[in-house]
Amino acid sequence: MRVCVIGAGYVGLVTGVCLARIGHEVICIDNNKEKIKLIKSGQSPIYEPGLSELMIAAMEKGNLQFSSDIAAGVSHGEILFIAVGTPTLPTGESDTRYVEAVAKSIGTHLDSNYKVIVNKSTVPIGSGDWVREIVLDGIAESQKSLVLSDDESKTPTAITVNFDVVSNPEFLRQGNAVYDIFNPDRIVLGSNSEKAIAIMQELYAPLIARIHAKDKSLPPVPVVVMDLHSAEMIKYAANAFLATKISFINEIANICDRVGADVTQVATGIGFDSRIGSKFLRAGLGWGGAYFPKDVSALIHTAEDYGYEAQLMKASVSVNQHQRLIVIEKLQHELKILNGKTVGLLGLTFKPNTDDLRDAPALNLIAQLKHLGVKVKAYDPIVSQSGLSHGLSGVIIETNPEMLADGCDALVLVTDWQEFLKLDYTKILQLMNHPVIIDGRNFLDREALLKIGFRYVGIGR
C-alpha cells in the first residue's frame, strides 16, 4: 500500500521505517530540510536500537523515501499519517498548531482519490472531528483559489469529500520502539467508517498475523475497533495509568525507607498478584521523557475543561516531582553539607537505550545540586558521545566512568543502562573521595558494592 507519514520525528520516523520494512511504499515528509538531508545521507536523527539499519535497508530497497514536499506526499499516499509533535503549553494543554497546519495542508493538496487520514499524534479527545473540519477548510480554500485564478465571476463548486479520519494511537516505548511496532500488544483503530477500518486492517495485516514474530505460535494481534473519541482517550488513559503505577510504588518506597522495609521485595510480592502485575513496579527517581508528562498533563487539562478535577492524576504528578529530588535528601544524609562537594551522575537520559533528555529527572537533579553549590559531573553512554547539551550548562560531561569517579564525593545512578552493571567498581571506589553511591533505580548489585567497601543507598531499601 502507498503510505505518507507527515512528521519524521520519533513516532513518524519509526512508523514509516517499519511500515516500509513490511512491504509498503512509504514516503516520510518533514518541513525540516536539514533533518531530511541528514536522513537521506543514511543517518537517523534519533537514537533507537535497530532503527538505522532498517531505515537504510528500506531506502536501498526503494520503498522508503524522504522529502519536504507535502504535496508530493499527499498525492502518493492512500493512507496519510499525521505524526507531528503536540508539546505541552504552559497551561498544561496540548499544542495542536502543528496538527492543524498539517491537516490544512492535506486539505489543500487532496485530489479526487479516496484517502484515509490517520491521527498518529497523541491529540486531545475530539481531535478527529476537528481534523476533519480543518481538512474541509483546506479543500474549500483550494477550490476557491482555483476558481479565482480561472474566473472571478464563477461560483465555487461544492466541496468533494472523499476521505475519512481514523484515530490510531501509538504505544511505542522509547528504546524498544522497533520491537513494539513488530510485536504490538494491540492495534487500536477508531472510526465510524467501515471502509477506512478495512483499509487500516489491510495495512497492518502482516503485523496482525505476526509475520515478523520470532515465536510463530503466538495468536494474532488483537485489533480493537471503536469510535474516534474512545480511541483518542485510550492513549491518555494508558499513559496516565502507568505513570500513576510508578508514582504509587515510589510512594511505597518512601514509606519503606521509614519503616525499614525493602521496596524491591514488596514489589515482588505484590507483582505476583494477577490483578496488579509486576511491570512498572520499580521504585526510583520517577517518570519523565516526552510522553508521560505531556499526556498526563493534557488529560488533567481536558478534565478541567469539562468540569472535573482529576485528583488522582494530580497526586501522581505531585509524587513524581517530589521523587525526582529524593536523592538530594539521601546525599545530605550521607555527606551533610553539599556546598563544595563533587557529585557524579551515572546516566542522564530519562531511560536507557535512548538519547532523549526531555523532562529527564536528571535535569531537575542537576538544577538542585548546582543551587546547593555542588560541582556536578556526568557520564552517559549516549549523551557523552553525542554532544547534546540541552539543560546541561555547567555540568562537566566525562567520556568514561573512571574520569567521572575521579575526585567525586558521591556517585548517583540516574539511568539504568546495562553497561553500568559491568563497570569496575573496585577501581571506581579508589578514585573517589568518599565511597558513597546512591542507586536511584535500585539497579546495581547492592551486596557486591557493600562487599568492596561502598556505602550503598537505594530507593526504599
pLDDT at 390: 63
Summarize pLDDT for 244-256 with one digit per residue, the tens: 999 999 999 999 9
Beta partners for residue 225, in sequence order: 189
Residue with cell 531506502: 59
Considering the chain, what percentage of its residues have pLDDT values greater than 70? Answer: 96
User: Order of strands, edge to edge, in the sheet holding 375-379?
Assistant: 396-397, 375-379, 342-346, 410-413, 436-439, 455-457
Whether the CB-CB separation of 363 and 357 falls below 8 Å is answered with yes
CA distances to 39, 74, 100 from 34, in Å? 9, 21, 23
pLDDT at 88: 87
Summarize pLDDT for 95-131 with one digit per residue, the tens: 999 999 999 999 999 998 999 999 998 888 989 999 9
Residue 299 has pLDDT above 70, yes or no: yes
Residue (of 113, 91, 114, 123) closest to 102 by Cα position: 123
- Band of pLDDT at residue 384, cut at 50, 70 and 90: confident
- Band of pLDDT at residue 152, cut at 50, 70 and 90: low
Distance CA 291, CA 361 (A): 14
pLDDT at 91: 86
Whether the CB-CB separation of 249 and 277 falls below 8 Å is answered with no
Residues of the chain with CATH 3.40.50.720: 2-226, 324-457
pTM of the full predicted structure? Answer: 0.90
Residue (of 351, 193, 372, 381) closest to 287 by Cα position: 351
pLDDT at 349: 95
Q: Which three cell numbers stand for residue 349?
A: 537520559
Distance CA 160, CA 157 (A): 9
2-226 belongs to which CATH class? alpha beta
Torsion from C-alpha of 377, 383, 388, 394, nearest 10 degrees: 0
Distance CA 5, CA 11 (A): 10
Residue 345 has pLDDT above 60, yes or no: yes
Residue 6 has pLDDT above 90, yes or no: yes
- Calculate mean pLDDT across residues 348-361: 93
Residues of the chain with CATH 1.10.1040.10: 235-322
Report which of residues 376 and 148 the model is more confident about.
376
Whether the CB-CB separation of 243 and 287 falls below 8 Å is answered with yes
Domain 235-322: CATH architecture, name and number where available: Orthogonal Bundle (1.10)
Residues in CB range of 16: below 8 A, 6 or more apart? 3, 5, 8, 26, 28, 64, 81
Residue (of 48, 191, 171, 52) closest to 115 by Cα position: 191
Which CATH number describes the domain made up of 324-457?
A: 3.40.50.720
Distance CA 158, CA 240 (A): 43
**Burial (0-12, 13-18, 19+ Cβ within 10 Å), 113:** exposed
Residue 391 has pLDDT above 90, yes or no: no
Summarize pLDDT for 200-221 with one digit per residue, the tens: 999 999 999 998 777 778 899 9
pLDDT at 92: 84
Average pLDDT, the chain: 94
Residues in the chain: 461
Distance CA 187, CA 185 (A): 7
Least confident of 211-215, 302-306, 356-360: 211-215
- Calculate mean pLDDT across residues 337-361: 95
Whether the CB-CB separation of 4 and 12 falls below 8 Å is answered with no
